């Protein structure tokens, strides 16, 4: 499963480098910040924003965009 997520991350991240609808900066407690792209996909039957940071990490935003609502699902 983790390999699949990594592959999806690579594909999405490569795509968003060319056409990225939204760029945001995300700050976490363990880092100074990630320059990330928000891509909207249909996950779990809903339109959920996916955040892909500049280091290739994949984040899934649940509900409103805040630190509490971000679940890290990448490496």
54 burial via Cβ count (<10 Å: 0-12, 13-18, 19+): middle
Question: How many domains does the structure of the chain reveal?
Answer: 1
Which range scores top for mean pLDDT: 13-17, 40-44, 53-57? Answer: 53-57
- Region 24-38: what's the mean pLDDT? 50
pTM to 2 decimals?
0.20
pLDDT at 9: 56
Q: What are phi and psi of 36, to 5 degrees?
A: -130, 165
Contact between 73 and 5 under an 8 Å Cβ cutoff? The reply is yes
pLDDT at 37: 52
Strands in 46-53's sheet, in edge-to-edge order, are 22-26, 34-43, 46-53, 58-61, 70-72
Torsion 7-5-75-47 (CA) sign:
positive
pLDDT of 32 over the 50 cut: no
pLDDT at 62: 40
Q: Which domain holds residue 61?
A: 2-72
């Amino acid at each position: 499963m983790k390999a699949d997520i990594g592959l999806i991350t690579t594909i999405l991240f490569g795509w968003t480098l060319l056409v990225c609808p939204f760029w945001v900066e995300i700050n976490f407690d363990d880092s100074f910040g990630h320059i990330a792209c928000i891509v909207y996909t249909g996950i779990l039957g809903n339109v959920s924003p996916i955040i892909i940071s500049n280091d290739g990490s994949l984040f899934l935003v649940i509900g409103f965009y805040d630190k509490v609502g971000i679940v890290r699902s990448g490496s």
